[in-house]
Structure 1
Amino acid sequence: MTTLQSRPAPPTAIRPRVVARTGLYALLAANAVIVAVLFADAGFGSNALILIGRLAGLYGALVMAFQLLLVARLPWLDRRIGMDRLTSWHRWTGFTVLWTLLAHLVFITFGYAQLSSLDPVDQLVDLAETTEGVLRAIVAFALIVTVGAVSARWARRRLAYETWHFIHLYTYLAVLLAFSHQVAAGTTFTASTAARAYWYTVWGTALGAVLVGRLVLPLWRNLRHRLRVTAVVAESDTVVSVYVTGRDLDRLPAAAGQFFLWRFLTPGRWWQANPFSLSAAPDGRQLRLTVKTAGEGTAALRRIEPGTRVFAEGPYGAFTTLHRTRPDSLLIAGGVGITPIRALLEDIEGHAVLLYRVTAERDAVLYEELSELAAAKGAQLHLITGPADPDLLAPRELARLVPDIGDRDVFVCGPPGMTAAVLRHLRDMGVPKRQIHFERFSLAG
């Protein structure tokens, strides 16, 4: 089999993910310093417990605003970091918010109880009744505790996404209540014009980012492109491809490897958003998604009529060639995880090797066109069939199939168990972390 001549590796001095991550860290650190300066400028007072409580509340507010930025779905951040990593960071910062606000509540209550000689419960009731904004803060904290409880892994697994998402929306109400408490009762907020300007800027930026990324940009793109289904093609008994077209698709900033949140505007389905990756590189004329039946929602895709309007949020994801560090690539796919890998194979430059892992040949979705595409690109395609045990993608097998694996970028997409095992094998084989690319294609949470 002939191969394409390898092209020079793309620049690796400054990697996009490192730039974005460093920028986020620097932004958070700079704001943490500003909060400390404004806190000191407001004066310390004489009660240590109240002092600690105030500082905890300020940092809780800062992290809450940062949390909103992480899930604003801003294209610049999403392309460089990926929705899966951003939402994972959002989840962990959420627990930071919970603990800092709990510290704020406890230390403030016990501090004022020391001054008034009331017991902590009576003191909290007294603050809620006599101090403007405190009752709103207590309600906000209760909402955050509720959202945190349903976001715990044991609860998240037991809830439908729509239920979890509906409860999660109360976070925005908690944010507004917390901010109103800060305006009414925050000592640092009321201490100076500079402090007020700073906190209005922080909250305005965070809420504005959410409004733009989650509402304005999707609405604008859908009004501009007016997407609709043009064809539904059964690839097998359990897999279907949906072709979508629209206006000015050459101006839609989608890349091979990315995904959209798709809403097909039919009765009973318009409110369901499903994350499906593109199974072909965008060509400016149409988009294609290929889906395996995994429930009633995905099974219904077979019955969608051509002409059906589509509302698509995205594109999302960092599983693209933007993050390449080497001239040659290894693509590893399992099952229907072949869909973004197939799009990447079409788009990728340099020599590529594709390992496609399925249980049986009949499960190899899009295999015929993969073979044609591999031949046209001068790529090597290996179909690996068999049961999960033994591991046919173990280090020895990977080294046999791809002897120069350490000199390639590796893109991995498949079922969670397979993906985790392959990532572990790549680390054991000494493949540098910067050359390993993967993404979990799912909704936030």
Structure 2
Amino acid sequence: MMPTTTLDVERRRRSGRRAVTVTVLKAGFWLTVAMPFVLFALWGGPATLNPGTALSSLGTMAGLLGTNLVLVMVFLAARVPYLDRVIGHDVALAYHRRLGEPALYLILAHFALLTVGRSVENGRDVVGETLALIGDGEDTGLAYIGLGLFVVVVVTSAVTVIRRWFTHEMWFAVHALSYLGIVMALPHQSQDGAVLDPASWRYAYWLTLYAIAFGAMLVFRVLMPIGRSLWHDVRVTGVEPIAPGVVSIHLSGRRLTRLRAAGGQYAIWRFWSRATWFHGHPISLSAVPTDTTARITVRTLGKGSARISRVRPGTRVGFAGLFGIFTDAGRTSPRLSVVAAGVGVTPVRALLEDSPLTPGEATVVLRGRGADDRYLWDEVEALAEATGSRVVHMIGPRPAEAGTWMSTEGQTIGDVFPDLLDSDLYVCGPPAWSDLVVRDARAAGLPATRIHMERFDW
């Protein structure tokens, strides 16, 4: 066991504060889930209770809960910096996707229960009542169209096969329909007795939720990226090939240190050229920025990354971020264990540059299938030598046996990291491969809170 230092104590305090904040955020979420029930109870519910009004009341509750989850989803996708510092943008998006299906089911239940309830009250069949509701006014018709759009968005997001088939541009265009669906439902929600009925005091509560969710979206996904991009004036200064299919893009800008970038973070970069302007790319910094320079490293994995690998010097660059807690700020332990494969070495290289390391504190595993996968390894080795860190090379294909992330059969994670249980483990590489590393670390007894892995998922 290594002796506890002042830095270790501060790291644990910081981790404790983050855990408290996460608890408060979760409590806030459940409070918003409870509020529709409270408001409905205070509202008084239906004047008389019979099968029709009971079904309609259940439908109203389902609609209120569904609306609440949709607004939470919008907030989680808004790239709020505070959320990113606490849980990470990738985790926020994972929660965003997780809420999609229950939100859809609640909204479907809202339409179904209200329709059945009113059909019972009015003595009509369900089909006739549905047609009557659609023809009842423009507001309800728009709400049905909004429901259809929301179904399309959730299905394309939740069904993995469909999502993988879509290009980023196709998926983004379809996903944008969710916002159109919400807008189309607003007139319906403003009817007498509905969520946004201005005659009800509940109006202030729901209007506040709408303002927070869409205000965050406007500020952090639109206004802040535009303002920062213009202010820092980032441009391409050069494209440096460093391996087959891999380039480092060198950037210039002004007052970049004001971004307070940490090694291991990433931004969503948009290169303003004819071939690349329509696609934002989540790419890690491969070096800690100076006041006037920055660098990212890109591997060609598709048409989009191939296009940005050919951008010309002078191209203006917009960006959103920086994001991520794959940084030294997430550490709580006296030792550092790092595993990187492929282009996953880029945030690791910046992380090591930005971490205050003492001799023997860090062990870094660099995994590659062959000589072509050794990009930036020389820089990592130079940083390791300067800090007295240990570097382990794993080169070659994985053994024929399934379920190993190493290049040597029979080797265990404890063989590679003898001090693993005194460490924070940082893992960056292909998702399926990274999952194997995490599996072995958890099996060895390392708590999940000390495992750091970031996914650049859209």
> Normalised by the shorter chain, which TM-score bucket?
over 0.9
Q: What's the secondary structure of 2:337's corresponding residue?
A: strand
Choose which of 367, 375, 379 in structure 2 pairs with 1:369.
379
Match of 1:384 in 2: 394
Give the drift of 1:323: 1.2
Indicate whether 1:269 and 2:270 are aligned. no
Give the drift of 1:75: 0.8
Choose which of 258, 272, 276 in structure 2 pairs with 1:251.
258
Instruction: Please give the alpha-carbon distance, in whole angstroms, between the structure 2 residues aligned to 1:193 and 1:292.
Output: 55
Give the drift of 1:427: 0.7
Match of 1:82 in 2: 88
Instruction: Please give the alpha-carbon distance, in whole angstroms, between the structure 2 residues aligned to 1:78 and 1:31.
Output: 21
Match of 1:21 in 2: 22
Of stretches 170-179 and 102-111 in structure 1, the one that deviates more from structure 2 is 170-179
Post-superposition Cα deviations, 1:95-145, rounded to whole Å, max 9, x if no partner, equal 111000011011100000001111111101112222562212111111111
Q: What's the secondary structure of 2:287's corresponding residue?
A: coil
Instruction: Please give the alpha-carbon distance, in whole angstroms, between the structure 2 residues aligned to 1:194 and 1:388.
Output: 63
Indicate whether 1:143 and 2:153 are aligned. no
Flag the 1:233–1:33 CA change in 2: closer, same or farther, 3 A: same
Of stretches 182-191 and 129-138 in structure 1, the one that deviates more from structure 2 is 182-191
In the alignment, is the contact (CA less than 8 A) between 1:132 and 1:184 conserved in 2? no
Q: How many residue pairs align between the two structures?
A: 441
Give the drift of 1:19: 3.9
Q: How does 1:282-297 map to 2 (within 5 A)?
A: 282-297=289-304
Instruction: Please give the alpha-carbon distance, in whole angstroms, between the structure 1 residues aligned to 2:105 and 2:238.
Output: 50
Flag the 1:302–1:103 CA change in 2: closer, same or farther, 3 A: closer
Post-superposition Cα deviations, 1:34-56, rounded to whole Å, max 9, x if no partner, equal 32221112222222101100110
Q: How does 1:106-117 map to 2 (within 5 A)?
A: 106-117=112-123
Instruction: Please give the alpha-carbon distance, in whole angstroms, between the structure 2 residues aligned to 1:108 and 1:206.
Output: 27
Instruction: Please give the alpha-carbon distance, in whole angstroms, between the structure 2 residues aligned to 1:392 and 1:310.
Output: 36
Instruction: Please give the alpha-carbon distance, in whole angstroms, between the structure 2 residues aligned to 1:380 and 1:188.
Output: 60
Q: How does 1:43-58 map to 2 (within 5 A)?
A: 43-45=44-46, 46=49, 47-58=53-64
In the alignment, is the contact (CA less than 8 A) between 1:110 and 1:120 conserved in 2? yes
Flag the 1:284–1:199 CA change in 2: closer, same or farther, 3 A: same
Match of 1:61 in 2: 67
Q: What's the secondary structure of 2:326's corresponding residue?
A: coil
Amino acid at match of 1:168: H
Flag the 1:336–1:7 CA change in 2: closer, same or farther, 3 A: farther
Match of 1:414 in 2: 429
In the alignment, is the contact (CA less than 8 A) between 1:20 and 1:77 conserved in 2? no
Instruction: Please give the alpha-carbon distance, in whole angstroms, between the structure 2 residues aligned to 1:395 and 1:410.
Output: 21
Choose which of 386, 393, 401 in structure 1 pairs with 2:416.
401
In the alignment, is the contact (CA less than 8 A) between 2:405 and 2:433 conserved in 1? no
Instruction: Please give the alpha-carbon distance, in whole angstroms, between the structure 2 residues aligned to 1:240 and 1:357.
Output: 19
Instruction: Please give the alpha-carbon distance, in whole angstroms, between the structure 2 residues aligned to 1:396 and 1:249.
Output: 43
Instruction: Please give the alpha-carbon distance, in whole angstroms, between the structure 1 residues aligned to 2:28 and 2:277.
Output: 38
Match of 1:423 in 2: 438
In the alignment, is the contact (CA less than 8 A) between 2:88 and 2:323 conserved in 1? yes
Amino acid at match of 2:428: C
Flag the 1:188–1:311 CA change in 2: closer, same or farther, 3 A: closer
Flag the 1:243–1:16 CA change in 2: closer, same or farther, 3 A: farther
Choose which of 324, 347, 353 in structure 2 pairs with 1:340.
347
The share of aligned pairs that are identical, in percent, is 36
Indicate whether 1:358 and 2:368 are aligned. yes
Flag the 1:417–1:32 CA change in 2: closer, same or farther, 3 A: closer
Q: What TM-score does the superposition give when structure 1 sets the normalisation length?
A: 0.94
In the alignment, is the contact (CA less than 8 A) between 2:287 and 2:349 conserved in 1? yes
Indicate whether 1:35 and 2:42 are aligned. no
Q: What's the secondary structure of 2:12's corresponding residue?
A: coil
Post-superposition Cα deviations, 1:227-249, rounded to whole Å, max 9, x if no partner, equal 00112111122211011111111
Give the drift of 1:188: 5.5
> Whose RCO is larger (CA < 8 A, sep 6+)?
1
Q: What's the secondary structure of 1:303's corresponding residue?
A: coil
Post-superposition Cα deviations, 1:205-262, rounded to whole Å, max 9, x if no partner, equal 1110110111011011011101001121111222110111111111113211111111
Q: What's the secondary structure of 1:130's corresponding residue?
A: coil
Indicate whether 1:160 and 2:167 are aligned. yes
Give the drift of 1:395: 8.4
In the alignment, is the contact (CA less than 8 A) between 2:265 and 2:322 conserved in 1? yes
Amino acid at match of 2:36: V
Q: How does 1:170-189 map to 2 (within 5 A)?
A: 170-187=177-194, 189=196
Q: What TM-score does the superposition give when structure 2 sets the normalisation length?
A: 0.91
Give the drift of 1:193: 4.0
Match of 1:8 in 2: 7
Root-mean-square deviation over aligned CA pairs:
2.1
Flag the 1:239–1:189 CA change in 2: closer, same or farther, 3 A: closer
In the alignment, is the contact (CA less than 8 A) between 1:232 and 1:302 conserved in 2? yes
Post-superposition Cα deviations, 1:315-345, rounded to whole Å, max 9, x if no partner, equal 1122112211112201100111100011111
Give the drift of 1:361: 3.3
In the alignment, is the contact (CA less than 8 A) between 1:356 and 1:381 conserved in 2? yes
Q: What's the secondary structure of 2:313's corresponding residue?
A: coil
Q: What's the secondary structure of 2:190's corresponding residue?
A: helix
Indicate whether 1:71 and 2:86 are aligned. no
Give the drift of 1:401: 2.3
Q: What's the secondary structure of 2:228's corresponding residue?
A: helix
Choose which of 447, 450, 453 in structure 2 pairs with 1:432.
447
Post-superposition Cα deviations, 1:64-117, rounded to whole Å, max 9, x if no partner, equal 111100000011111221222111111111111100001101110000000111
